[in-house]
């Protein structure tokens, strides 16, 4: 997803990490003892990196997530960071803050005017190659001009995996030319062992 050429990914980072968390819990049968160590590592890695006001604002302003789960707007953790974002971005323009926070944002949350028409709702149901949240705002955000301008700016942002690229060294070390004829099951087992050994080493530190 990150470093993708096909569309900007900033507004999908937080949402897809949440989806991954839910899938981990489901795949482990809801067994807290099994999934908690994994989720704890995930939370530790996210904290201060992928849970910023920018990430949360782009998450809320991505209609794919907001229209899929309208309860997002009632999450105090999300809304506090969203308000912090606008407070920082528009710190020298109180009138613009007022317009965005008290007029435009409520319209988006309530799906007022074109933001709530069938075409707008249908066009953000599927996150595929064609879906672009920034373009969606350009088409349907005419009644919220100030918020639309900000939304398009942050939804066009990309993200990078540069800081995580060292994690691929494990896979590359296993999947080299000398071992490229390993059966898939053996390769998966070897990678599983090495990856979990790395996790155990990090936990011990």
Residue 161 lies in a domain: no
Res 159: pLDDT: 58
- Long-range CB contact pairs, 126-132, < 8 A, 24+: 127/12, 127/64, 129/6, 129/7, 131/7, 131/64, 132/7, 132/8
Q: Say if residue 60 is in the same domain as residue 41.
A: yes
Q: Say if residue 55 is in the same domain as residue 116.
A: yes
- Whether 42 shows a pLDDT value over 70: the answer reads yes
CA distance 151 to 124: 15
Q: Say if residue 31 is in the same domain as residue 124.
A: yes
Q: Say if residue 172 is in the same domain as residue 100.
A: no
Where a domain ends, among 114, 135, 155? 155
Residue 84 lies in a domain: yes
Residue 1 lies in a domain: no
Q: Rounded mean pLDDT of the chain?
A: 80
**Lowest-confidence segment of 36-50, 135-149, 150-164, 183-197 by average pLDDT:** 183-197
The residues, ordered by sequence, that sit 6+ positions from 21 with a Cβ below 8 Å of its Cβ are: 39, 42
Q: Say if residue 40 is in the same domain as residue 83.
A: yes
**Lowest-confidence segment of 23-27, 119-123, 155-159 by average pLDDT:** 155-159
Res 165: pLDDT: 47
For 110, the domain range is 10-155
Residue 42 lies in a domain: yes
- Whether 124 shows a pLDDT value over 80: the answer reads yes
Q: Say if residue 87 is in the same domain as residue 126.
A: yes
Q: Say if residue 92 is in the same domain as residue 177.
A: no
Q: Say if residue 140 is in the same domain as residue 188.
A: no
Six token digits for residue 154 = 């942050």
Residue 95 lies in a domain: yes
Q: Say if residue 122 is in the same domain as residue 180.
A: no
Instruction: Domain count for the chain, please give it.
Output: 2
Residue 173 lies in a domain: yes
Q: Say if residue 187 is in the same domain as residue 101.
A: no
Highest mean pLDDT among 81-85, 179-183, 188-192: 81-85
Q: Say if residue 29 is in the same domain as residue 93.
A: yes
Backbone angles phi, psi at 136, to 5 degrees: -60, -45
Q: What is the pLDDT of residues 62-101, one digit of tens each?
A: 999 999 998 988 999 999 999 999 999 998 899 999 999 9
CA distance 152 to 27: 36
What is the pTM for the complete model shown?
A: 0.69
């Amino acid at each position: 997803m990150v470093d993708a050429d096909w569309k900007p990914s900033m507004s999908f980072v937080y949402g897809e990490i949440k989806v991954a968390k839910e899938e981990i819990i489901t795949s482990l049968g809801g067994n807290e003892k099994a999934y908690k160590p994994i989720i704890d590592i995930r939370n530790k890695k996210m904290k201060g990196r992928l849970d910023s006001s920018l990430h949360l604002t782009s998450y809320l302003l991505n209609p794919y997530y907001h229209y899929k789960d309208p309860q997002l707007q009632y999450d105090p953790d999300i809304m506090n960071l969203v308000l912090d974002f606008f407070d920082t971005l528009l710190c020298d323009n109180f009138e613009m803050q007022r317009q965005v926070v008290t007029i435009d944002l409520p319209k988006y949350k309530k799906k007022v005017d074109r933001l709530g028409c069938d075409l707008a709702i249908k066009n953000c149901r599927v996150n595929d190659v064609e879906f672009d949240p920034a373009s969606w705002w350009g088409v349907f955000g005419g009644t919220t001009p100030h918020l639309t301008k900000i939304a398009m700016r942050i939804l066009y942002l990309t993200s990078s995996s540069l800081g995580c690229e060292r994690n691929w060294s494990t896979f590359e070390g296993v999947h080299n030319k000398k071992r490229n004829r390993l059966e898939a099951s053996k390769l998966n087992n070897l990678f599983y062992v090495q990856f979990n050994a790395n996790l155990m080493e990090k936990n011990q530190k």
